[in-house]
Amino acid sequence: MSNLNTKLTNKSYQRLAGKVAIVTGASSGIGRTTAKLFAQHGAKVVVAARREAELATLVAEIVAHGGEAIAFAGDVQSEEFAKSLVALTVKSFGRLDVAFNNAGTLGEIGPTTDVSEKGWNDTLAINLTSAFLGAKYQIPEMLKQGGGSIIFTSTFVGYSAAFPEFAAYAASKSGLIGLTQALAVEYGAKGVRVNAVLPGAVDTDMYREKNNTAESQAFLTGMHALKRVGKPEEIANSVLYLASDDSSFVSGTASLVDGGLSINRT
């Protein structure tokens, strides 16, 4: 760990040195962990979510470790929020290089024939429409400096595996893959790369809320070839790769970070 800390204080090692990044859904889980990792690697970070107190704590942690960060609380379903988030980023740090559009929800779960129209629409609004709105305002700023990297958080659900009673979640997250590909083709020649990361089960508050019994946790663990669920840090490292110039020839991908869940049959 000491060697890693030494490397992270070395500007030549930092993979996002000089870059400015937005992270949504940053108040907990994968978003929070990724925001901290971005800052460790030299990015100036704007963290966004609904929970203002949690964002303030995150910013304080980043600053205490020598990073730069500001927070913007609001609702990712709002187009005005997406517009204002980018405006604040550019006003504060002068540019935008990376956007991790990570905010999401499980949404209304249950038999598809019982899912309400509101539950369906809310799930799509948070998981899919918010990503579209984010990219809508992020891309023009990236184009001003010749490019950037956008990453969406999708999932294996509805892609390589499916669960009953998760129709709205699966549809919204699968839609992100289509959005990823469309944007990658539309803006790739102008230097904007767009990718989606598809985690397997990850040990977050959302995971524990849904899987609160030993039986359900054992079932999900067994689905993975690695026979364990992931850690937020493991997903964050994959997002860091896609955000950095190390992935300069990677665009339009649905990048599985799923512990072998997609190929496991044991």
Confidence at residue 1, expressed as pLDDT on a 0 to 100 scale: 39
Confidence at residue 7, expressed as pLDDT on a 0 to 100 scale: 45
Domain 13-200+234-257: assigned CATH number: 3.40.50.720
Closest CA to 68 of 44, 99, 91, 98: 44
Closest CA to 105 of 123, 82, 130, 132: 123
Task: Kindly report, residue by residue over 119-149, the tens digit of the pLDDT.
Answer: 999 999 999 999 999 999 999 999 999 999 9
Tell me the two tokens of residue 108.
Answer: 């209304």
Q: Read off the pLDDT band of 103 (50, 70, 90).
A: very high
Query: Taking all residues of the chain, what is their mean pLDDT, rounded to a whole number?
Result: 94
* 96 has pLDDT over 90: yes
Separation CA 251–CA 83 (nearest Å): 24
Confidence at residue 13, expressed as pLDDT on a 0 to 100 scale: 81
Query: Tell me, what DSSP letter sits at residue 48?
Result: E
Confidence at residue 205, expressed as pLDDT on a 0 to 100 scale: 78
What element of type H or E holds 39? helix 29-40
For residues 200-209, give the mean pLDDT. 84
Confidence at residue 208, expressed as pLDDT on a 0 to 100 scale: 73
For residues 17-41, give the mean pLDDT. 97
* 154 has pLDDT over 60: yes
What element of type H or E holds 182? helix 167-187
Q: In this structure, how many other beta carbons lie within 10 angstroms of the beta carbon of residue 20?
A: 24
Q: In this structure, how many other beta carbons lie within 10 angstroms of the beta carbon of residue 150?
A: 29
Tell me the two tokens of residue 56.
Answer: 């303030």
φ and ψ of 26, to 5 deg: -90, 0
Q: Read off the pLDDT band of 8 (50, 70, 90).
A: very low
Structural domain spans, the chain? 13-200+234-257
Strand, helix or coil for residue 3: helix
Q: Read out DSSP for 213-246? A: SHHHHHHHHHHSTTSS-B-HHHHHHHHHHHHSGG
* 4 has pLDDT over 60: no
Catalytic residue, chosen from 13, 137, 159, 169, is 169
Q: How far apart are the first and last CA of the chain?
A: 34
Q: Read off the pLDDT band of 12 (50, 70, 90).
A: low
Task: Kindly report, residue by residue over 227-264, the tens digit of the pLDDT.
Answer: 999 999 999 999 999 999 999 999 999 999 999 999 99
Separation CA 264–CA 226 (nearest Å): 9
Confidence at residue 3, expressed as pLDDT on a 0 to 100 scale: 47
Active site residue 169: yes
